[in-house]
Amino acid sequence: MADVDDDLDLTTLEDDELVQQMHEDLYDGLADEIVEGTNILLERGWAPYKVLTEALVEGMRIVGIDFRDGILFVPEVLLAANSMKAGMSILRPLLAETGAPKLGSIVIGTVKGDIHDIGKNLVGMMLEGAGFDVFDIGINNDADSYLNALDEHRPDFLGMSALLTTTMPYMKVVIDTLKERGLRNDYMVLVGGAPLNEAFAKSVGADAYCRDAAVAVETAKSMVDELRQQAGAAA
């Protein structure tokens, strides 16, 4: 950023200007500025949910588009997502108090035998930034670990990640276990990871393949919208 921005007093900005500046600060991964901007908007009487959607979620939407289009790369998006988390640390307890709406919820984890988590972590942060509740159960998860998390959190989605060709077949083990226990239709299953593709996702019985974090957000949003439309039509 230019030197002039280093001396920018965020309190002097009008609300619309401040929100735009927060979008730019998210894009640049400036966590301290996001915390300051979030607090300023709250002090001005903004509802926590409005701060989340207009300042943070919209900023991460822009980041997601440029990530999808190859303008931004993983290190830059991780910085943006960490800045988003800094703002969320302020908003999360306030949102819980006000019962703010959520888009949905997801349990995510890397499959058994695989300890890679950078991609998974990025997906989780991007989904949280988009308004989802994310329950990250970490790495090296067997079928029971996934099922226990599903039973505890009752999410809309199950997300599984793998980076190794030797571990990706375990996704089918998890999905088959869901089927055996009569739970498969209770969750939308998203899978992702470098060696995966659409054909693999279909072969193991997943609902969708997400090639990166931006696509994961778009896919989850689309599936939630479709479910809501179906529910509205059935009402």
d(CA 98, CA 96): 6
For the chain, the domains span 1-100, 102-235
CATH number, domain 102-235, options 3.40.605.10, 1.10.940.10, 3.40.50.280, 1.10.540.10: 3.40.50.280
Highest mean pLDDT, choosing among 71-80, 97-106, 146-155:
146-155
pLDDT above 60 for 29 = yes
Selecting from 3.40.50.2300, 1.10.1240.10, 1.10.490.10, 1.20.120.530, what CATH number does the domain 1-100 have?
Answer: 1.10.1240.10
The predicted model scores a pTM of 0.76
Q: At 201, is the pLDDT very low, low, confident or very high (cuts 50, 70, 90)?
A: very high
Query: What are the tens digits of pLDDT across the range 136-188?
Result: 999 999 999 999 999 999 999 999 999 999 999 999 999 999 999 999 999 99
Q: Find the mean pLDDT for residues 69-89.
A: 91
